[in-house]
Amino acid sequence: MIGERNIYSVSDVNRYIKTVISQDENLKFITVKGELSNFKRGANNHLYFSLKDKDSLINCAMFATYANKLIFEPKDGDEVLVMASVDVYTARGSYQLIVYEMDSVGQGAMLLELEKLKRKLQKEGLFDESRKRDINIYPKAIGVITARNGAAIKDIVTNINRRFPLCQIYFFPSAVQGDDAPKELLQAFKKSQEYDLDTLIIGRGGGASEDLSAFNDETLVRAVAESKFPVIAAVGHEIDTTLIDYVADKRASTPTGAAELATVDMREIEQTFQYDIETMQKSLRDRVADTKKDIEDLKEQLYESIKDRINELSKDIKARENQLEALNPKKVLKRGYSISANKDGQVIKSIKDVKKGEKITTTLCDGTIISTIEETEE
C-alpha cells in the first residue's frame, strides 16, 4: 500500500526530467554521428528524422531557421554529423535531439567543402560575368594545358588545324588527375603566362567526379582568375562542373567544343567572302544599269535643252538682223539720200571738211559720183 508521500503528476515528472536534462552542460551543443532514418520535411520546412547506429536510435528535430542554412539535401541513409542539444518533449515524456547544424560524412563532406569554397570564391566576385572577356576567334597563338598522351590534346589540335590552320598552338603538358595534378596544372599555367597567347585552353576528357578534383584546387582557380589572356575551360562533359569552369571566361563541355569556341571556321569565312563578292557583283551590275539609264535620260534632257537654246538664239539673231537691216545705210540711200567722202574715205559732214578743187566721191543707192569742188556755200 502506498504510504503518505508526495504525489506527483505525470507532467510534473516530465517537467522535472526536462529541467534536469536542460541544466546538464554535457548535453548541450554536443556532436553526434549517425545514419539518417525516417527523414521527413514538414509543412513549415521543419525537418524530422532519426539518427541511428547499429545498436540504437534517437529522434531529432531541426527547425526551419537552421534547416534553411543547409548546403546539401539530406536523405535516408546519409551518414551525418550533427551539432545538437538534448531536449525533452514533455507531452509524451520522450527525449530528442534539437539539431542546429548538420554536415555530411565522407564523400558528402568533400562535396560540402567544395560547396563552401565555391561560395567563398563567388562572394569574392571571381565568377562574376563582368570579369568575363571575349574570345578572339582569329587567334595568332593558342595555348593548351592537358595530359600529354590523352585524347583531349589530339581533339583540340585536330580541330584547330581544321578550322583555323593559321593559328600556332603551344602545348603545356600536365597530369590531369591524381595527387600531383594540382601542382603540375599550376606549373603549366604559370609557364603559359610567359607566352604571347590569344587564348588558353585548359581541360581534359570526361571522368568521374573524383577524377576532376584537381580542377577544383583553390590555388589553381585563383591563378586562372588572374590570367593575362582569356581562358576556355574544357573539363569533363556537360554533367561535370568544376570551379575552373566558373572562373574561366568561357566553358566548353568537350575539348572539341573548346577548339570551336577558340577559333572561327575558315570555311565559314570563305563562304562569307563568296557571298559578299556575289552581293558586290550584283550591286555593281545594278549600279551600271542604273547609271546607263541615268546617262540616257541626261542625254535626252541635254538634247532638248540644246534644241530649245538654238531656237532661242535663232530668234535672237533674226531680231538683230532686222535691227541691223533697219540701220543699213543703203536703206537710207534708197530714200533719196547720199553720202559724200573725201579722198581719204572720210565722210564729209561739213563744208569745212572740203576745199576748193578737192575731189570727192558721192555714193548713191545705185552707184557713185566723182566730182571736184568748185566752191562751197554756207
Spell out the residues 6+ positions from residue 55 whose beta carbon is closer than 8 angstroms to its own.
none
| Domain containing residue 186: CATH number | 3.40.50.2300
Q: Which domain holds residue 25?
A: 10-105
Domain boundary among 264, 297, 314: 264
For residues 204 and 283, state if they share a domain: no
Number of helices (H) and strands (E) in the chain: give both, helices first: 10, 13
For residues 344 and 246, state if they share a domain: no
For residues 335 and 323, state if they share a domain: no
Would 4 be classed as within a structural domain? Answer: no
Distance CA 132, CA 231 (A): 9
Distance CA 187, CA 63 (A): 47
For residues 19 and 130, state if they share a domain: no
- The full DSSP string for 326-341 is HT-HHHHHHTT--EEE
Phi, then psi, of 174 in degrees rounded to 5: -160, 150
Would 2 be classed as within a structural domain? Answer: no
Instruction: Please count the structural domains in the chain.
Output: 4
For residues 289 and 342, state if they share a domain: no
Would you tell me how many other CB atoms lie within 10 Å of the CB of residue 6?
A: 5
Would 227 be classed as within a structural domain? Answer: yes
Which of 86, 106, 97, 98 has its CA nearest to residue 18? 86
- The pLDDT value given to residue 240: 64
Distance CA 75, CA 58 (A): 16
For residues 118 and 100, state if they share a domain: no
Would 378 be classed as within a structural domain? Answer: no
Domain boundary among 56, 76, 105: 105
Distance CA 263, CA 320 (A): 82
- The pLDDT value given to residue 1: 52
Q: Residue 186 in contact with residue 220, Cβ under 8 Å?
A: yes
Would 132 be classed as within a structural domain? Answer: yes
Q: In what order do the strands lie in the sheet with 367-372?
A: 339-341, 359-364, 367-372
Q: Residue 83 in contact with residue 31, Cβ under 8 Å?
A: yes
Give the up-direction half-sphere exposure of residue 334: CA atoms within 13 A in the CB hemisphere. Answer: 6
For residues 256 and 355, state if they share a domain: no
For residues 335 and 250, state if they share a domain: no
Would 181 be classed as within a structural domain? Answer: yes
- The pLDDT value given to residue 50: 94
Would 204 be classed as within a structural domain? Answer: yes
- The pLDDT value given to residue 7: 82
For residues 99 and 200, state if they share a domain: no
For residues 23 and 65, state if they share a domain: yes
Domain boundary among 236, 264, 292: 264
For residues 203 and 191, state if they share a domain: yes
Residue whose entry in the numeric block shows the C-alpha cell 572720210: 346
Would 3 be classed as within a structural domain? Answer: no
- The pLDDT value given to residue 211: 74
pLDDT by position in tens, the chain (length 378):
555 567 888 888 888 888 888 888 888 888 899 999 999 998 889 999 999 988 899 999 999 999 998 878 888 888 888 999 999 988 888 899 999 998 877 655 676 778 888 999 999 999 999 999 999 999 999 999 999 988 899 999 999 999 999 999 999 999 998 889 999 999 999 999 999 999 999 998 776 666 788 999 999 999 999 999 999 999 866 566 889 999 999 999 889 999 999 999 988 778 877 888 888 988 898 898 888 888 988 998 999 899 989 999 998 888 888 888 777 777 767 777 788 888 888 887 888 778 888 888 888 878 888 888 888 887
Helix (H, G, I), strand (E, B) or coil at 202: strand
User: How far is CA 210 from each of CA 63, 216, 239, 346, 363, rounded to the nearest angstrom?
Assistant: 33, 10, 14, 130, 135
Pairing of strands 359-364, 339-341: antiparallel
Q: Which three cell numbers stand for residue 50?
A: 532519426
For residues 233 and 148, state if they share a domain: yes
Q: Residue 145 in contact with residue 153, Cβ under 8 Å?
A: no
Q: At what angle do helices 255-262 and 151-163 cross, to 10 degrees?
A: 30
Distance CA 85, CA 99 (A): 7
